[in-house]
Structure 1
């Protein structure tokens, strides 16, 4: 079993932290995992992504090449990081920030992630943790 996951959004939303947490959880579960990250020169406000690969077998390349899942927490991230999704992929979007979902033929779940963080926990800061759940 191999899962390739891309968590994307705007710098400052905590998606790199979420990627690290996800990879660490996989390791604690006895899986192999690798996490990489990318963000533009504007660390706060520009597009950012964390990629996590979780596998039962050796991981030979540290980048996501065939994403099973894309979490898009901003419109820019949904547009920029959905180019290699396939009909077998799943996209989860934050419905507060993503209004134009790219058509890729797979499943899409539009969830009120940031809204839930504000309403339930009192701060948008926790949206990354809600998205992991």
Structure 2
């Protein structure tokens, strides 16, 4: 039996974080959450998620800035996706600018979110 996809979701909105955790868990995805951008590098290094879903608009430190630091501490192949309610064009451009592995809108339907996470999880396993 294949290992479940491991996803770290970083979002300072506790309600949204809880909702995403329940949603992804219902699809058999192993979910860890962080409500703070601080310490994400250590979490990534120790827990070795396949995919890190980073909210762009966090109070302490924006997700695009967290990405650069966390990637240096991540195992090879770890996929970083920006996650935001920003319009898709802005989000796509930001992901390109900070060299994220992808992006997804918070308005995406659950199936699309899971599909993208699984797609990036396969990439991570192929690279790692």
Q: TM-score range by the shorter chain?
A: 0.3 to 0.5
Q: Which has the higher helix share?
A: 2
Normalised to the residue count of structure 2, the TM-score between the two structures is 0.47
Query: What is the TM-score when the length of structure 1 is the normalising length?
Result: 0.46
Of structures 1 and 2, the larger Rg is shown by 1
Q: By percentage of residues, which structure has more strand?
A: 1
